[in-house]
Amino acid sequence: MSIRNDILDSLCTNLEGIKQDNGYNTTVRKVERYPIPMDNPSELMPHIFVSEGQEEKINEDETNIGFRLSVALNLFMKGQSVSGLCSDIVGFIDDVKKMIYGPISLGDYCLAVNWIDSDQDVSEIQAMARAGIAIEIIYYAPKASF
């Protein structure tokens, strides 16, 4: 049992729900917790690579420990034109905002998911756009669960 793994898997499952059919701007084709090759076939774009950052212990009581886990969401998409990609990647970022403030539910142990910041860039040569979104997950775990 790993509460942290469960929360991250649940985050991936939620991100997989970003589809135009569900009212989003983008239809995500792949979400993974490991880097996806940049020469990923176009049919697997757009994709999101979820990477874990620092985990900080923020509080503790007799039975539980609270953590703040930094998570980076790396969004990739391909397009036909740079101008189209510039607006599409913003739409993709907005999709993640919409999902987080739905509000998102990552299980009983997750107390809060907070947006921190984002950045983006568009590659003219590869006709590819990338965005990096930093979020934090506040969660707790019983000491007995480790």
Which residues are near other proteins by CB under 8 A? 58-61, 64-66, 68, 111-112, 114, 136, 138, 140
Query: 125 or 144: whose CB is closer to other proteins?
Result: 144
Of the two residues 38 and 58, which places its CB atom closer to other proteins in the complex? 58
**CB-based contact 14:114 (threshold 8 Å):** no
Nearer to other proteins, 76 or 109 (CB): 109
Q: Output the smallest distance, CB 58 to other proteins, in A.
A: 5
Q: Which two tokens stand for residue 66?
A: 């609270």
Edge to edge, the sheet with strand 47-60 lists 30-32, 47-60, 64-78, 128-142, 110-123
Cβ 46 to other proteins shortest distance, Å = 27
DSSP at 82: H
Q: Cis peptide leading into 142, omega within 30 of 0?
A: no
In the complex, the smallest distance separating the C-beta of residue 102 from other proteins, rounded to whole angstroms, is: 14
CB of 110 to other proteins, least distance (A): 10
Q: How many CB atoms lie within 10 A of CB 87?
A: 12
Cβ proximity to other proteins: between 114 and 126 the closer is 114
Q: Which two tokens stand for residue 96?
A: 């993640």
